[in-house]
Amino acid sequence: MKRAEILLAGILLLGMPALGWAADGPDPAPVRAALDAMHAWARGGGQLEGWREFLLSDVLEAELARGPKADRLTLAEVFDRYAGGAPGTASPPIVAVRQALETYLRELAQAQIAALARECTKAKADFHPLGPADTQQARTLLAGAADRLVATLQSDSDRANASQWQAFLQLADLQAELRKDQPDLDRLDAIYARFASGHEGLELSVFADVRRTLRHYLVARRAAGHPDLKSQYETVLDRLAGELDALGQGFSSDTALGLARTLGWLEDAQQAAELRRRVAEQFAHPNVCVRISGRLLDAALGGSVDETGPVEDVILSTTIRGTDHTRGRAAVELVPSLGAGELDIVFRGVTETEAIGYSSGAAVHSSSVTHIGVRKRLRTDGRRITSLPAQAAAKVETTLHSVNPGRGGWRAQQEAWRRAEAEREPSDRIAEEHARQRAAARMDQDVGRQIEALNGWLDRWCGGFERRGAWPRSLRAYTSAHALHWAAVQAHGALPAAPLPPPVAYAQADLVLQLHESAINNTCSRVLAGMVL
């Protein structure tokens, strides 16, 4: 594939435009009307059942019947079928459903967010006074994180570096305070400042876990029995309602960060767990989406083969030596799958062989044509790539050119010809089996090297996020008929992800990266929150 043929869609920073909505939820009638029209169009072309199954019409109809209680994540899966760029989905009746469903999803999100804002007032009655059990739970989490950090440092081969970290972070003092019934909170504040000082390395998860749990413990100790906690709780819920109302009108990074801080306060104060869960579910759409077309994958992993090399084999006690010339092409074929990203690397080619077989002093000159097909399945969960053993098929057709018996006259030569002809058919079948084994082993070897290199790159790339505790909450890989997709929810704790599925990207692009602004904010917050920079 020429470089100019690779189309790259730019990075999209996605927001949520404001749309009107009804207090009791949007009207699903436009979606139903568009869906009925699409079904009529498909029925006229004799493809109704196929389109109903692929576009999840039964699922869509069931969710529309639920009205304002429809599950937006389920509707997003349906929307992905319409928006994924599969062949035929650019037909006007299908586009009409997609557009109506996109509007419905936005209005439904806003209606459900508004309903959550109204729930904030009701949640004021669910105030939970903090007591000894709550602080003990926070202390247990902190002690566990501190013990893991100490164990990690003790296992460090650089003993001087480990000792310096232990001294700087005052881990012995931290563990001593945790053993007291009444720890010195000012002393713990000073230790927390060490963990939040911004030194390189403190962003790693083994340090960040202590920083987060220490902060949580300090909040719990000071909030337990505090006379103003209930009034602060009610004020925070009022602020949460205002932030939800604002986000219902349009997503903005400032409001989203305010929402995260508000939810973080509720989490630290161990309040409104059910409300926090529902808010998190409301902002749980993927905020990082990647799409790689089959064409680009084919350009990267496929290619033409034209190789010449020696061949040596033993068939029916005959030693065969000669030269192979193989021509063909390896191609990528996507395997539609919702559970994982799956594709096949398929080689189809022809090997032409000129060889001489030696047996009992006789020499047989022959040529053969072998038609070869090899298929190897690759799978990815988004984090690593695995594969299944290659499967191969071969068909051999041999032509005998001359037979030299080595000794004797014309009778010996006739006998040698007769024997060679009699063994040609069974020899071809054995040669086919050997060709299958060689082709499968070659595919396993060549693709295995590519997988090893790709997994090495993934380990380096993903390992940086994992070591910093910033690996996505969820990561899903899947394949459609025309592309390999990744969808990640980059959010942790109280941090909100995207409120809506991503908009439709350019269907002909070979590489698409869609980033919702929450993904960037959440990654930075997870790695750097509480740090002094």
Q: How far apart are CA 163 and CA 152, in angstroms?
A: 12
Q: Give the residue among 169, 211, 148, 168 at the shortest CA–CA distance from 525.
A: 211
Residue-level pLDDT, tens digit, the chain, 533 residues:
333 333 333 333 344 333 333 446 789 999 999 999 999 999 998 899 999 999 999 999 999 999 888 888 888 889 888 887 778 888 999 999 999 999 998 888 888 888 889 999 899 998 988 888 889 999 999 999 999 999 999 998 888 888 999 999 999 999 999 999 899 999 999 999 999 887 888 888 899 899 989 988 998 888 887 888 999 999 999 999 999 988 877 777 788 878 888 988 888 888 898 899 888 888 888 999 999 999 999 999 999 999 999 999 999 888 999 999 999 999 999 998 888 999 999 999 999 999 999 988 889 999 999 999 999 999 999 999 999 999 999 999 999 998 888 777 778 778 878 888 888 899 999 999 999 999 999 999 999 999 999 999 999 988 888 877 788 989 999 998 889 999 999 988 777 888 888 887 776 789 999 999 889 888 887 777 666 55
Which residue carries 């009655």 as its tokens? 125
Between CA 178 and CA 149 the distance in angstroms is: 15
What angle, 0 to 180 degrees and rounded to 10, lies between the N-to-C axes of helices 159-169 and 132-154?
A: 160
Residue 37, H or E segment: helix 29-44
Query: Residue 530: what pLDDT?
Result: 61
Q: Are 282 and 116 in contact (CB under 8 A)?
A: yes
What secondary structure letter does DSSP report for 4?
A: G
Pick the closest to residue 344 from 371, 374, 375, 365 (CA basis).
Answer: 375
Instruction: Give the per-residue pLDDT at 24.
Output: 62
Q: In this structure, are residues 256 and 498 in contact, taking their beta carbons and an 8 Å threshold? A: no
How much is the pLDDT for 289?
Answer: 92
3-state secondary structure 87-122: CCCCCHHHHHHHHHHHHHHHHHHHHHHHHHHHHHHH
Angle between helices 92-123 and 72-83 (to 10 degrees): 160
CA–CA gap between residue 464 and residue 523 (Å, rounded): 12
Amino acid in position 323: T
The Cα 358–Cα 353 span in angstroms is 16
Q: How far apart are CA 419 and CA 412, in angstroms?
A: 11
Q: Tell me the C-alpha distance between 501 and 173, whole Å.
A: 48
